[in-house]
Amino acid sequence: MHPGIIFFLVILGSVLFHIFTPWYWTDVASNWGSMDDTITLTFWVGGGVFIAVCLFMVYCVFKFSYKEGRRAEYKPEDKKLEKILTWATTLGVAALLAPGLIVWNQYINVPKNAIHIDVMAWQWGWQYRLPGEDGKLGSTKIKNINDNNPFGIILEDPNGKDDILIQSDVIHLKNNRPVKILLRSVDVLHNWYVPQFRAKMDAVPGVVTYYWFEPNKAGEYEVLCAEYCGVGHYGMRGRVFVKNEEDYKNWLQEQETFSDLIAKQEEIEFSKTKLAKK
């Protein structure tokens, strides 16, 4: 068989694979549909170039395959053609870059009404902290972390007292309300990633990183760790429930605040000393 035919079939197969693939992205469940749009744009432009270049190559292979006695053209360069191609490529690239930068600008500028969520990662699990009624998270310090203070909240910080602590890998989010995910890690790199929300960012020990999204589809989602974090990386999962306002409120009320936790511990301490006295 002529090699050109096989190359042509490879290109055709790629196109058909794309059309009939059962493997494609999950439905987007956040405001980042615009990321899908940039992917789609890149896909059409890039795919077009791929097909064009490859088909041209196949054409050449058919048309100009070796014939005894025939001479190839002798033409060291064609400045005009090169200029046209350079500018066309530059234009195409700019057309892809511009939307990308616009969406990135949205990505790094968080809306003011976003709920802040402290996502704390460790080898290998997640836990979460929400601000209390004051809407502010208390500041933290890794050295403060212990059994009585699982988030390492600085006790002197008044903002921290009413923080809502969720010592579980399940978090609920309010539908149609932006959230700012504040990532921190106590040991190594992690990454809090829900494929349906599209967004992601590494959690880096020593600093607090962030990103934001607005969930817009109620349901249950799986959280995956997307940055390699040691031997338990693949098992570092969690779950997110996106709920409507009422369900979210009910859930929130059941959660414990930091002052609840302190009170409970004091109680235990008190009963312990009582027991000891007896």
Partner 1 sequence: MSEDNNDKIIIQSQSSESISGGGSGSTTDIDYVRPAEVGDQDLYHGHSFITKWVFCQDAKVIGVQYFLLATFTGIIGLILSWLMRLQLGFPELASFMTAEHYYQFVTMHGMIMVVYFLTALFLGGFGNFLIPLMVGARDMVFPYLNMVSFWMFFIAVVVLLASFFVPGGPTGSGWTLYPPQSILEGTPGSGMGILLMCLSLILFVAGFTMGGLNYLITVLQARTRGMTLMRMPLTVWGIFTATVLAMLAFPALLVGSLMMSLDKILGTSFFMPTILQAGEVLEYGGGSPILFQHLFWFFGHPEVYIVALPAFGIISDLISVHSRKNIFGYRMMVWAIVVIGGLSFFVWAHHMYVSGMNPWFGFFFATTTLIIAVPTAMKVYNWVLTLWRGNIRLNTVMLWCLGFIVTFVNGGITGIFLGNVTVDVPLSDTYFVIAHFHMVMGIAPLMVIMGAVYHWFPLVTGRMLSEKLGKWHFWFTFLGAYSIYFPMHYLGFIGVPRRYFEMYDSPYVTSAVGMNEFISTAAFIVGAAQFILIYNIIKSLKTGKPAGKNPWQANSLEWLTPSVPPEHGNWGDRLPVVHRWPYDYSVPGAKEDFITQTTPPSDVTNSEVEKT
Nearer of residues 43 and 270 to partner 1, judged by Cβ: 43
Examine residue 122 and tell whether it contacts partner 1 (CB under 8 A).
Answer: yes
Among 235, 253, 275, 278, binds partner 1 (CB under 8 A): 235
At 204, list the tokens: 């880096």
Give the DSSP H or E segment for 126. strand 125-130
Choice from 15, 16, 142, 155 touching partner 1 (CB under 8 A): 142
**Angle at which helices 33-63 and 3-20 cross, to 10°:** 160
Are 29 and 217 contacting, i.e. CB atoms less than 8 angstroms apart? yes
Angle, helix 79-108 to helix 33-63, in steps of 10 degrees = 160
CB 174 within 8 A of CB 185: no
Among 27, 77, 133, 246, binds partner 1 (CB under 8 A): 77
Q: What is the C-alpha separation between 229 and 68, in angstroms, rounded? A: 61
Q: Is 187 a binder of partner 1 (CB under 8 A)?
A: yes
Contact window for partner 1 (CB under 8 A) among 32-40, 111-119, 169-177, 259-267? 32-40
List CB contacts of 201: < 8 A, sequence separation 6 or more: 181, 183, 191, 192, 209, 210, 211
Residue 179 makes contact with partner 1 by CB under 8 A:
no
Judged by CB under 8 A, the stretch of 25-33, 131-139, 258-266, 267-275 that binds partner 1 is 25-33
Given strand 237-243, what is the order of strands in its sheet? 170-174, 237-243, 219-225, 190-193, 202-203
- Residue 263 interacting with partner 1 (CB under 8 A): no
**Which residue, 108 or 276, is less far from partner 1 as judged by CB?**
108
Q: Using the rule CB under 8 A, is 260 a contact of partner 1? A: no
| Torsion sign across C-alpha atoms 81, 85, 87, 88 | positive
What is the nearest approach in angstroms of partner 1 to the Cβ of residue 168?
18
44 is a contact residue toward partner 1 (CB under 8 A): no
195 binds partner 1 per the rule CB under 8 A: yes
* One residue of 42, 167, 176, 216 binding partner 1 per CB under 8 A: 42
Identify the residue among 159, 233, 257, 262 touching partner 1 (CB under 8 A). Answer: 233
- Residue 97 binds partner 1 (CB under 8 A): yes
Are the CB atoms for 179 and 170 separated by under 8 Å?
no
- Single residue of 19, 20, 27, 72 touching partner 1 by CB under 8 A: 72
